[in-house]
Amino acid sequence: MTTLVSAAQDVKSRLVAEVDARRDDLIALTQDLIRIPTVNPPGDCYLEICEYLARRLKKSGYAIELVRAEGKPGDSDRHPRWNVVARREGTHAGDTVHFNSHHDVVEVGRGWTFDPFGGELQDGRIYGRGACDMKGGLAASIIAAEAFAAAVPDYRGAIEISGTADEETGGFGGVAYLAERGYFSPTRVQHVIIPEPLNKDRICLGHRGVWWAEIETFGRIAHGSMPFLGDSAIRHMAAVLREFEDVLYPALGSKRTAMPVVPPGARQSTMNINSIHGGQAEPTDGFTGFPAPVVAHSARIVIDRRYLIEESPAAVRQEVIDLLERLKAERQGFSYEIRDLWTISPTMTDRDAPVVRSVAKSIGEVMGVVPEYVVSPGTYDQKHIDRIGRLKNCIAYGPGVLDLAHQPDEWVSVDDMLDSAKVMALTLNDLLGADRAA
C-alpha cells in the first residue's frame, strides 16, 4: 500500500512540475490568443483563432475538426461561425474528459489604460479583452492537457479540447450547434469542464435562467406641434417603465433562491432593460441636419430577465404579460406586441457528480483549501451541454476573477492560471490516469 501511495504521489509531483515548466509557454499562449481580436458581435477572426488552436493542438497529437455553424444566428460569409474540436486518444479504453472554452469576446468599451488586444504582461498579470473571460482559461486547459500527456503518456480514454463561438451572444453558433450534432452526447463525452473565470478555488455548478424579449408599444404619427392629434408610443412605453419600477421590480426583489449564486445580490430575480428605441431612427454617420417634428408611432425595449431555479419559464413570461394586459385595460389607446428572443432554463449539477468530486479533490491538493460551490448569475454554455447534449456531469472551473469580465483593463493572473492548470492536470489524472481501474 505504501508503494502504491508513493507512486501516485510521484505522478502528481511530476504533473505539477510539468505545469510549472510550461509557465513561459502559458504566458505566450495567452498573449497570442488575446491578440486575435475575436469581438462578438459581429464575430471577427473566428477562423483565425480556430486555425491557430488547430495548429497548436495538432502538434500535441490531437485530431482536429473545424466545424462551421452554417445557418445559425450571426453566421454569414462575412462572419462565419467557426469552432474547433480537438481529440487525443489514450492507450486504453476509458472516459472522455472535455475542456470547452469560448473564443469570442465582448466589445472593448471605454476606459482602457492598456492596449485591449496587446496581451501586455505587467506585475504577474496579462491584460487584454478576453484575458479573464476566457482566453486565460482556454490557455490553462491546453497547458494542463499537454502536461498530463507528457507525465502520463499511457492514460486511459481520451481528452478533448474545444474552442467555440458566440457564447457571449447565447452560444447558438457554438456549443449549441455542436450539442445538436452529438459532440456532447454522454456516449461520447463523460466529463466536461468549462474554464470560465469563477475564481480558482471555486467550482461553479450551474447558472440562473434567462428570458430575453422585445416589447413594442404603438402610437399614431402626427405633427410635433400638435401632439394631441397623434398618440405617442414613447409615452405608452413610459407607462410600461413606470409599472416596472412600481410593481415588477419590487416583486422580483422578493423572490429568493436556495442556489448558491454569486454575488449575493443575484440570489434574487433580476431584470435589466438592455436597450430602448423610440421615435425616429438615429441619424446616419455624417448627417448634420435636425430631427423632424413628429409624434412617435413606435417605441421598443429589450428586456433581459434572469430567473431562479424555483421559477418556471412560463410564469416568468406571464408576469410581464399580466402587467401589459393591465395597462391595456386601464390606458386609453395602449397597444403592444411582445416578441420572445430566447429563453434558457436554470441548470445546476449535483455536488456529488464525478467531475465535481474530482475537481474538488484536486483543488485541495493544489491549494490546500475546500472549494466554494457557487452558481453563476449569468448563463454560460453549460446550458446547451445539459439541455441539448443531455450531459449532466458538467461544471465551470477556471482562473480569473469573475468581477473583471467585460470590464476595461481586464486581466488574468499568471499564478492563478498556473494553479488552475495544475488542478485540471490532477483532475485528468484522477479521471483518466493509467492506474485508474478500467
At residue 144, does pLDDT exceed 50? yes
Residue type, 278: G
pLDDT tens-place string over residues 36-56: 999 999 999 999 999 999 999
The model's confidence at residue 399, banded by pLDDT at 50, 70 and 90, is very high
Radius of gyration of the chain (CA): 24
DSSP state letter for 179: H
Pairing of strands 191-194, 202-207: unpaired
| Percentage helix, strand, coil for the chain under 3-state DSSP, each rounded to 5 | 35, 25, 40
206-220, 271-285, 408-422: which range is least confident on average? 271-285
For residues 236-252, average pLDDT: 98
At residue 20, does pLDDT exceed 80? yes
The pTM of this model reads 0.90
pLDDT tens-place string over residues 291-342: 999 999 999 999 999 999 999 999 999 999 999 999 999 999 999 999 999 8
Largest pairwise CA distance in the chain = 92
For residues 93-117, average pLDDT: 98
For residues 371-400, average pLDDT: 96
Which strand (E) or helix (H) includes residue 30? helix 23-34
pLDDT tens-place string over residues 203-215: 999 999 999 999 9
At residue 2, does pLDDT exceed 70? no
Average pLDDT, the chain: 96
The model's confidence at residue 281, banded by pLDDT at 50, 70 and 90, is confident
Q: What are phi and psi of 268, to 5 degrees?
A: -120, 170
pLDDT of amino acid 374: 97
Which strand (E) or helix (H) includes residue 235? helix 233-243
Dump strand ranges (E) for 44-174: 63-68, 82-89, 92-102, 121-122, 125-127, 156-164
The model's confidence at residue 9, banded by pLDDT at 50, 70 and 90, is confident
Q: What are phi and psi of 411, to 5 degrees?
A: -145, 165
Single out the residue of 118, 141, 265 nearest to residue 191, CA to CA. Answer: 141
pLDDT of amino acid 436: 63
The model's confidence at residue 253, banded by pLDDT at 50, 70 and 90, is very high
Q: What angle do CA 386, 388, 393 make, to 5 degrees?
A: 25
Chain centroid offset of residue 104 CA: 10
Single out the residue of 308, 320, 204 nearest to residue 258, CA to CA. Answer: 308
At residue 280, does pLDDT exceed 50? yes
At residue 4, does pLDDT exceed 70? no
pLDDT of amino acid 403: 87
Which strand (E) or helix (H) includes residue 271? strand 270-278
For residues 64-69, average pLDDT: 98
Single out the residue of 412, 361, 375 nearest to residue 12, CA to CA. Answer: 361
Task: Count other Cβ atoms within 10 Å, centred on residue 185.
Answer: 13
For residues 377-393, average pLDDT: 95
DSSP state letter for 282: P
Which strand (E) or helix (H) includes residue 302? strand 298-307
Residue with C-alpha cell 504521489?
A: 9
| C-alpha dist (Å) from residue 58 to 89, 326, 327, 371 | 13, 60, 60, 34
Which strand (E) or helix (H) includes residue 53? helix 46-59
Residue type, 233: A
The model's confidence at residue 434, banded by pLDDT at 50, 70 and 90, is confident
Chain centroid offset of residue 74 CA: 17
DSSP state letter for 230: S
At residue 438, does pLDDT exceed 60? no
What DSSP line would sit under 314-379, residue for residue? Answer: HHHHHHHHHHHHHHHHHSTT--EEEEEEEEE--EE--TTSHHHHHHHHHHHHHHSSPPEEEEESS-
Q: What are phi and psi of 86, to 5 degrees?
A: -120, 140
For residues 147-172, average pLDDT: 97
Q: What are phi and psi of 87, to 5 degrees?
A: -135, 135
Distance in angstroms between the alpha carbons of the first and the last residue of the chain: 20
